[in-house]
Structure 1
Amino acid sequence: MDTWESLRMAGKTLAANRLRSTLTMLGIIIGNASVILMVGVGQGAQKYAAQQFQSLGTDVIFVITGTDNARRNVIAPPNRLVLADADAIATQVPTVRSVAPQINGSELAIAGNNTKRATLIGTTASYTVVRNADVSSGRFFNEEDTKRNARVIALGAAIAKDLFPQGSALGQTVRMRGTSYEVIGIMAEKGAFLGTNQDDTIFMPITTMSSRLTGKTSPYGVAVAVINVSATSNDNVSAAQFQIANLLRLRHRTSDINADDTFTIRTQQDALEIVGNITSALTIMLAAIAGISLLVGGIGIMNIMLVSVTERTSEIGLRKAIGASPSDILTQFTIEAVILSLLGGAIGTGIGVGGILLIAAVSPLQAGVSIGAICLAVGVSGGIGLFFGIFPARQAAKLDPIVALRSI
């Protein structure tokens, strides 16, 4: 019997038992759809994270107080970065374009009858340049505001709506800890970043925040949490990182030349690689979990095919009696198993691609259809059908025609 005849007979047999064939394919359908969907969502998460980091600016460097080991040492906390360090970086590092020191806090903001717990950032006028932050209306505070400790603030887009739902926030006042601050600007919407809504942030001059809210927390000046730095170009990021490190080592070095650094320098690329590694690991884990259903689907195919062999014992005996060879029987049952797997894989692929497109339409994730994931899922499903279909097919091929005919 030729392959075409085996295909035709396998198709007729599967069509005659539509419900059983559909239920047999269900595991493969779910497995394929899950693998493709999980890989697509994982890749979408990677793209979304990359876009979020790029929105900060591609040449951004973050100088953070302490190292990982020092920050875990509660008894001897690390020397803090101070405002003077930021000034030194701005004036002494030639590969640096702008510097924006930053103090972080959280305060209850009150405007009339409306209150809102907001993230508070004290910084300088350079923040908008370094962190690629735009002002939608009004203005950001300038160097003069910082020098005179002006009581002015710029509101994130979301908190501006929460505090002033009935009209414009520009020119209005917001109270924090009993002090009034004039709203001089509304920031453009930026959305959430690493679980933090950037639009729920209030910005004020760093000198105002340190003198009125946080106080002086370092004997060497105004302590800062982060120094945001932008290099003169993307090509100079590594050079700027090296020069900043050398400058701060000179400023913070103790008498011990082997002392550890009291700061950590991270670039945008470092952060992007960390997030990329995390999302890649999660994608692989999710795809592996989803792939288990492919294995379950293969076992289901073997189960049903074994039942089919038992039900069709008389048919097998009759075919052998009229001249069908064991290889003919083996080929037919193997083809049936492969057809079930490939057809289930194709249907699952369609469902998975549809799910990805739906997620991309209703969420910020730019989930994409991975051709590699499709090829892998369909190939694995076809291989599973072949692997799990061989055993029932061999069982059918080994049937003694005399014994099989007695069952008629």
Structure 2
Amino acid sequence: MSFLAPELAAPVEAFATALGIGLLIGMERERRSDSAAGLRTFALVSMLGCLFALLAEHSGGPWLLAVGLIVLALSMIASNFSAQQEEQYRGFTSEAAIIVTYGLGAAVWLGYAQVAVMLALTTTMLLYFKTELKAFSESMTAKDINSMLQFGVLALVILPILPDGNLGPYGAINPRQVWWLVVLISGLALAGYLALRIVGTQHGAALLGIFGGLASSTATTMMFSRHANEHPHLVRMSALVILIANVMVMLRLAVIAGLLAPALLPSIATVFICGIAPGILMAAHGWKILQTAGELPVPEVKNPTELKTALTFGALYALILLAAAWLQDIAGSSGLYIVALASGLTDADASVLSTLRMFNLERIGGQDAVIAATLALLANLVFKIGLLISIGGKPLARYALPGLLSIGCGMVGGLFLV
């Protein structure tokens, strides 16, 4: 029950929200001795933005908001000029935060309170994690920055201009959907790649396995197979990293399957869980080994968003779609399974995604889709087992094979459950 008149309730709520936003950002600035403004200034600026938005709305003059911003800017210029005279100027961060706070206060009155609060939290986090963000920026290489820029091209330049319609034989290819999946896979790989760069070698096998699986389980398997061969005392540690990376592949694809084909999720999740569960149990069994980890290398993952890599994945995905549609048309389910096995050897992502696409087009049934996706993952698992045996040798196979084979047997058992 409100104690305010109805005509006052909304304005009071708006100004209270604006005050809270100003106090939140100002609290972070107050704790810094080099800040040009503190708690009270930010609270007043946020309410000032709300007040000018109110006046602009009721006077019919949106220019009033600009006037308020100009007055605020002139005040900051005068303050900074005075500070420079006293050799006390310390940067522009607080001034930029003040301008943002003014805008957030205005946004509250204009009916965007939730967005304003979210942006206020984001602003506060950016201000608070100054040291961490600076360290992250300084650790970035030209390759890292290039990866992020190229991902922006993939997602924001190429994707919007592609046609959205079923093309080609059997209507199996939708250019925009194909590229959207390229963006999705590239984004996950980029996240894993950057996480590896941040984690480095400081946090042990568990995180290296997790992020290595996101970036590239094949590259992680190859790298740590070589590492085990060169450093025999870290064979068991390398086996654990490889196992965790391969568990992450199924977790990643399970999430993607849930996004792309929700109707198929109960069945495909059953198979994946049956593979993931023994893998996690085997990883937990070796958890104590983490305490004796030596210096572990970061998997050498190539630029996950390079245009050539993206085009290769997109072309492979489209080719698998066409091959699966054609073979399924002339040979039924057996043709689909052959494509899944062959393509899964080199790229489980493209094979599984093409299967989900065929299911969404209603060209294959749910059971066939689950079997094909499982065969692709099993084929990829066999390929990586071959890598670790040929590169890591018998010592690595002794510790890594039980976990990988348990994943494969779990998926096969899951198929029978489905």
TM tier, smaller = under 0.3
Structure ranking higher in helix proportion: 2
Larger Cα Rg: Structure 1 or Structure 2? Answer: 1
TM-score scaled to structure 1, two decimals?
0.19
TM-score scaled to structure 2, two decimals?
0.18
> More relative contact order in 1 or in 2 (CA 8 Å, sep 6+)?
1
Structure ranking higher in strand proportion: 1
